Amino acid sequence: MQLKINGQTVETSESRSLLEIVRDFGATAPFALAVNGQFVPKSQHESWVLSDQDSIEILSPVQGG
């Protein structure tokens, strides 16, 4: 299936979990995830069911004012 991760198009197997997919993408802790604009809590990173064309955001701490 085809996904968008942080704006980049990625091809992945349907059998991979959300956590595996973001790790494959290169995500390193600390990060928080959203799928299609909805927050996905850490407790659901392994169980979250993704669909073709889903859009994943991997966010990490940055400077802020």
Amino acid at 43: S
Closer to another protein at the Cβ: 14 or 37?
A: 37
Candidate residues 39, 46, 49, 55; the one interacting with another protein per rule CB under 8 A: 39
How many residues at the interface with another protein, by CB under 8 A?
25
Q: Does 24 bind another protein (CB under 8 A)?
A: no
The residues facing 3 across adjacent strands are: 10
Cα separation, 62 vs 4, in Å, equals 22
Q: Which ranges in 7-49 belong to alpha helices (H)?
A: 18-25
Nearest-CA neighbor of 55 among 37, 43, 40, 39?
Answer: 37
Check binding of 31 to another protein (CB under 8 A): yes
38 sits near another protein (criterion: CB under 8 A): yes
Site of interaction with another protein (CB under 8 A):
6-7, 26-34, 37-39, 41-42, 57-65
